[in-house]
Amino acid sequence: MEELTKLVSNINSFIWGMYCLIPLLCGVGIYFTIRLRFIQVRKFGQAVRMLFGDLSLKGKRADKHGMSSFQSVATAIAAQVGTGNLAGAATAIAMGGPGAIFWMWIAAFFGMATIFAEAVLAQVYRTRDDAGHITGGPAYYISNGLGSHKLAVFFSVSIIIALGCIGNMVQSNSIADAFRTAFDVPPLVMGVIIAACGAFVFFGGIGRIAAVTEKMVPLMALLYVIGGLFVVLSNADQIIPAFKMIFVGAFDPSAATGGIIGAGVKEAIRYGVARGLFSNEAGMGSTPHAHAVAKVKYPAQQGLMGIVSVFIDTFIVLNMTALVIFVTGALDGTTTGIALTQKAFSTGLGAFGIKFVAICLLFFAFSTIVGWYFFGEQNVKYLFGTRGVTPYRLVVMCFIVMGSLLQVNLVWELADMFNGLMAFPNLIALIGLAKVVSKALDEFEQANLAENK
């Protein structure tokens, strides 16, 4: 088992390293940023206005014709905002120094253009399953747009394993571990509870998934931001030094921490970009499944919603974790992952800090389970039709329970590996179908001009 873990870890070091996915993901983001004329800057204000104009905690129930645009965004954010925002940011800081956050910002900025392209293509190539329900995602634009069924199958298998199975095992493990530490709840009990709650949502179909995410996502984000702001403002004198650490650390990590973190610029870039992309999922091909089912007039409208989802994930939620760690002085060079986040909030909130992180982790990880389940379901439909959905639901529930009991490094490494593997066919499709994205944006902008005349 140790040898296999080491092998997979070595594979991940290459896949998520400086010579593979990092330049590929960033390169695609830069390409679309230039091709779409800095869409994430030009249209950001319009995107925010569209999102809040459609904001509702009780929208019209989603049906076989899809979800509202806000429900789709909420489902996408549900998947994006997970343990990566609590543990991933802390790991990046511990391994790459404070400057890793700067490189997270850079990755997210270019990732906004990538996710715009993903959402647009998901809308353009969406279709209906054999039960008449709207469905879509990378497998559909890879096969119907790029014309490669084999590449689409590879993507579908990878994402079902990466997110629906192993990924959800990781999420339930994080919840069970946090509740065992904070409330002394037995892992098996927590696993069964999570699986039961998951089943309630899964078997309710797209209507229940949309109803849960549209309520859970705004409330959980608000809860975390309020708690984080309280800690940050309580240490207001450390805010400017925190940003100084980030900017100095981006180019001279040892100077930012006084040598506490023995990282160089290469480590800051690697961990910042890798953890940032892993958190916001831009380019990985996961969130397009949510954007595909949005009820919008123009595909580019949902592309703009994708831009906002990355902004919320990285620049609001993930940033809050980083600032709490910096202003509380929790960074010590030895603590990492969720333990570092818990230490920071315990410093800021006292004994309640560990419980606060456990509660937030419950919301974040469970919402991710719902989102990732939904993404996997769309690919099960692509491979097997609707007859494969019920067996898939049962398999996911089993993995959730197993995940709460296991804490095996191999599981985490496998999740990272399959997450990386599914990105390759998606990135190939994005570049191959770039003209389609540009055309959709032009149509939307021309329609806007006509309406404003």
88-102 tens-digit pLDDT:
788 888 888 889 999
Report the candidate in 173, 82, 88 with the shortest Cα–Cα distance to residue 363.
82
Is the pLDDT at 258 greater than 90? The verdict is: no
Q: How far apart are CA 192 and CA 301, in angstroms?
A: 39
Is the pLDDT at 416 greater than 90? The verdict is: no
Mean pLDDT, range 179-192, rounded to an integer: 90
Q: How far apart are CA 336 and CA 137, in angstroms?
A: 35
Percent of the chain with pLDDT strictly greater than 90: 60
**Poorest-pLDDT segment among 107-111, 407-411, 437-441:** 407-411
Q: Check residue 66 and give its pLDDT.
A: 85
Phi/psi at 298 (5° precision): -125, 135
**Poorest-pLDDT segment among 19-23, 225-229, 334-338:** 334-338
Q: How far apart are CA 340 and CA 336, in angstroms?
A: 5
Q: What residue type is assigned to position 387 of the chain?
A: R
Kindly report whether the global pTM for this prediction surpasses the value 0.75: yes
Query: Binning pLDDT at 50, 70 and 90, where does residue 371 land?
Result: very high
Run of H or E residues at 151: helix 149-159
Is the pLDDT at 318 greater than 80? The verdict is: yes
- 114-172 pLDDT, tens per residue? 999 999 999 999 999 988 999 999 999 999 999 999 999 999 999 999 898 988 988 89
Q: How far apart are CA 157 and CA 229, in angstroms?
A: 41
Mean pLDDT, range 17-28, rounded to an integer: 90
Mean pLDDT (the chain, rounded):
90
Q: Are 76 and 290 in contact (CB under 8 A)?
A: yes
**Poorest-pLDDT segment among 66-70, 137-141, 308-312:** 66-70
Domains of the chain: 1-55+64-436 (1.20.1740.10)
Mean pLDDT, range 394-399, rounded to an integer: 95
Mean pLDDT, range 359-378, rounded to an integer: 93
Q: Check residue 259 and give its pLDDT.
A: 62
Q: Check residue 408 and give its pLDDT.
A: 61
Mean pLDDT, range 428-453, rounded to an integer: 92
Q: Check residue 256 and give its pLDDT.
A: 66
Q: How far apart are CA 287 and CA 293, in angstroms?
A: 11
Q: Check residue 277 and give its pLDDT.
A: 79
- CA neighbours closer than 13 Å in the CB half-sphere of residue 82: 31
